[in-house]
Amino acid sequence: MNGPDRFEAYEGHDGKDDHHRTGRPGGTGSQEGGTGAPGDAQDPARQPRIPLPRASVEDGGLPLPAPADPGESERPPPAPVLEHAVLKSLLGAWALAACSAEEATAVEEHLGCCGACADEARRLREAVGLLQRPDSLDLDPGLRTRVLETCLERRPPRIPVPDWAAAYDAETARLDALLQDFGDAEWHAPVRLRWFRSDASTSRRTTVAGVIAHLLSVDGMVAVALGLDDPLGEVPAQHPTPSARTEAYWRASHFPPTRAVRGPWREQSHSLVRTVSFTGGGAGRMPISYGEFELPLHDAMLDRAFECWVHAEDIADAVDYPYDPPSPRHLHRMIDLAARMLPTALAHRRRTGLAAPAHHRHLVAAGEPGRSLRLEIEGSGGGEWLIPLDSPAARGSTEHEVAHVALDGVEFCRLAAGHVPPQEAAAGQVGDREAIRDVLFAAASLSRM
């Protein structure tokens, strides 16, 4: 192991020398039995392997260096001297904050004495602000309402939006905010539209752009009644119903709808709100035909707000994005519309044989109290409604109450949209089971594509 090819950690010396070079026992010489002479450690010709401690300046009597100026390190570097043409060429980089510190200092000093460059720099800074993308509108859903209420308290609008159109105005704005940042992939994301037909759930597959085309087509029924342009143009629909108009619009498109459909839909929604605001409160009773039934304008605008929210949730689910319910005030109006439509829907189901005639059915004169079901809506936007069971013309009465159903507000709306099976909707049921079943299925039958 001590042959000529062995690697040594130190330079080659005998054991005695190595012991003195390390200045500590246990060296190579110590392992070989060498003790070394004490005088060898004091030999001035030999330098110690570990240097001695360095002497302090104070111990040597030498003068200390002068302290540096404390402000010298913080003083900015002097601005380089640049020609006017060079400084003018740097204005674009300066506006984008892409200059070095020295260049920025030189440009800013130059702007103080050159008016032409100062005006150009201001225009460039304003242009940079326009290049920035608009901020996302993923904010608190109630923020828009609070800001508008504050603005209206300070300065009421000359032409106010009717209360019955405020929900449509808010829901279209919320959906438009959701669509703002969508790319091509999101616009072509698959969406399944669901509704309740007869006694079974049904659905139709489309895309996000197809959903907006559907809203554009059905909102067009209100637009035509108000004298606005029909989004279908010359495209004929087999029937004047929401589903037939939607199918006609989809068939007329040479290619699947894309993000281009957002502009016409949003422009139409603005025109609807502006038009109903100018028509005044009396126009709210104008009948709007849905083909198979009619609604007064104020209810039709609530219906469009409700469908806009429901399909906005469909879109949000398709792209895996959270979406909140409407504000309590608007949600209450939507629930009230569905509750007022329940007696007519229940009577229609009885005429078509989908709801069996009640054994204890009691027909009364129009406006008289009859058998009723108490519909209790809990949570945000809730309340209580008495639903007449035997005739749409009858009046709900607590004295003739035969059943009581309690549901959450959002759950009831999803039932009316056909997104929740009637058998799973009610949170609490008391009383006539047949009446409860008929009312829940009637609520689901309010849904459509």
Region 167-189 average pLDDT: 94
Of 75, 67, 63, 106, the closest CA to residue 88 belongs to 106
Mean pLDDT of 227-235: 93
Alpha carbons 170 and 151: distance in angstroms, whole number: 15
pLDDT, tens only, 234-254: 899 989 999 999 999 999 987
Asked if 188 and 259 touch (Cβ cutoff 8 Å), the reply is no
Spatial separation of the C-alpha atoms in residues 190 and 315, rounded to whole Å: 9
Which of 69-83, 140-154, 256-270, 325-339 comes out lowest in average pLDDT?
69-83
Amino acid code (one letter) for 57: V
Q: Kindly state the average pLDDT of the residues 377-394.
A: 91
Residue 428 has pLDDT above 70, yes or no: yes
Are 265 and 258 within 8 A, CB to CB? no
CA distances (Å), 111 to each of 94, 121, 254, in order? 11, 8, 56
pLDDT tier at 365, thresholds 50, 70, 90: confident
- Model confidence at 6, in pLDDT bands (50, 70, 90)? very low
Residues 441/355, Cβ–Cβ less than 8 Å? yes
Chain segment 39-65, per-residue pLDDT in tens: 444 555 555 555 555 555 455 555 655
Name the percent of the chain lying above pLDDT 70. 75
Alpha carbon 63 to chain centroid, angstroms: 70
Q: What is the predicted pLDDT for the residue at 203?
A: 93
Residue 199: predicted pLDDT: 84
User: When comparing pLDDT for 222 and 30, which is higher?
Assistant: 222
Torsion of CA 48, 49, 52, 53, to 10 degrees: 180
Provide the whole-model pTM: 0.66
What pLDDT score was predicted for residue 69? 58
The fraction of the chain above a pLDDT of 90, given in percent, is 48
pLDDT (0 to 100) of residue 43: 55
At 444, the pLDDT band (50, 70, 90 cuts) reads very high
Nearby residues of 442 by Cβ (< 8 Å), 6 or more positions away: 342, 345, 346, 349, 355
Least confident of 23-32, 163-172, 203-212: 23-32
For the segment 141-162, the average pLDDT, to the nearest whole number, is 73
Q: What is the pLDDT of residue 60?
A: 55
Both tokens assigned to 200: 């079974």
pLDDT per position as a tens digit, 73-92: 455 556 667 888 888 888 98
Residue range 402-430: average pLDDT?
A: 91
Q: Which run of H or of E encompasses 438?
A: helix 433-444
Report whether pLDDT(36) > 50: no
Tell whether the model's pLDDT for residue 208 goes beyond 70.
yes
Q: Is residue 23's pLDDT more than 70?
A: no
Is the distance from CB of 307 to CB of 295 less than 8 angstroms? no
Residues facing 191 on adjacent strands: 206
Cβ atoms of residues 389 and 371 within 8 Å: yes
Residue-wise pLDDT tens digits, 100-146: 888 888 888 888 888 889 888 988 888 887 776 555 555 666 676 77
Q: Lowest mean pLDDT of 64-73, 224-233, 391-400, 420-429, name the range.
A: 64-73
Spatial separation of the C-alpha atoms in residues 312 and 441, rounded to whole Å: 24
Amino acid at 380: S
pLDDT: which is higher, 211 or 94: 211
Closest CA to 429 of 405, 398, 402: 405
Helix H segments across 226-363?
A: 242-252, 262-279, 297-318, 328-351
Q: What is the pLDDT of residue 74?
A: 52
Is the confidence at residue 93, as pLDDT, over 80? yes
Mean pLDDT of the chain: 82
CA 112 vs CA 76, 78, 81, 117, 118: distances in Å: 18, 16, 15, 9, 7
